[in-house]
Structure formats: C-alpha cells, structure tokens
Amino acid sequence: MLENLTQTEQAILNVIKTVIDPEVEINIVDLGLIYKISHNEADKKIEVVMTLSARGCPVGDVIIQHVETVILDRWTDYSVDVELTWEPEWTPDMITDQGKNFLNM
C-alpha cells in the first residue's frame, strides 16, 4: 500500500518506524500497520492511515498517540491526523520481510 511515496513521505515513514508495538516488540511499519501517508506542504498537514493488529488492542491508543508525537517532534509546524481504519483487515501476511525475519517467521 505504501507505494510511490515522496521523499518527505518516506522520511515520515522512517520516523514512524521508531514506534514499536509493545506486545510483539517490532516497529509498526514492519508489522504492516501503516496503510497510507500523505504530506501536504501548502496546508502544513500530514495524514496517516493505519490499523491495529486486533480491534481490542489494549495499547492501540498509545500506539496512535505515539505516531502523532514522533511526527510532530520532527514537523513541528504541521498538523497531524492519524486515522484508524479496519479496512482492509490486518493479517500476518502484511508483515514485511524484515518484520518476518525479526519474528523468525
């Protein structure tokens, strides 16, 4: 889903990669939870569409807040909108090859 990212969107993705899912101890990018990143320089707005590995994820709110925080730490003059979606539903197939190696899959 994360194709054709601009240089800035790739930088945002790299910053989000510092957010670790505490239940599996892997970053949420390699876990496959980030679906879309949009950067609008004119409006100073960054949008992230993401999911969680389960609807009842007990640390979901913390993960979402952390995504917003790490972006705002770098892009201080932007507004950040992190949207949670359940479509498509997350599956282990969404884990990147790096994530699978980390998890010994």
Instruction: Select 7-91's CATH number: 1.20.1250.20, 3.40.50.300, 3.90.1150.10, 3.30.300.130.
Output: 3.30.300.130
Task: For the chain, give the mean pLDDT.
Answer: 94
Residue 1 predicted with pLDDT over 80: no
Quick check: 81 pLDDT over 70? yes
Which is more confidently placed, 9 or 23?
9
| Cβ neighbours of residue 79 closer than 8 Å, sequence gap 6 or more | 44, 45, 46
Mean pLDDT value across residues 25-48? 96
Which pLDDT score, from 0 to 100, does residue 35 have?
A: 97
- Among 76, 80, 79, CA closest to 64: 80
Domains in the chain: boundaries: 7-91
Could you give phi then psi for residue 75, rounded to 5 degrees? -110, 75
pTM above 0.85, yes or no: yes
pLDDT at 2 over 90: no
Query: Tell me, what's the pLDDT at 57?
Result: 85
What does the pLDDT read at residue 88?
Answer: 94
Of the two residues 57 and 46, the one the predictor is more confident about is 46
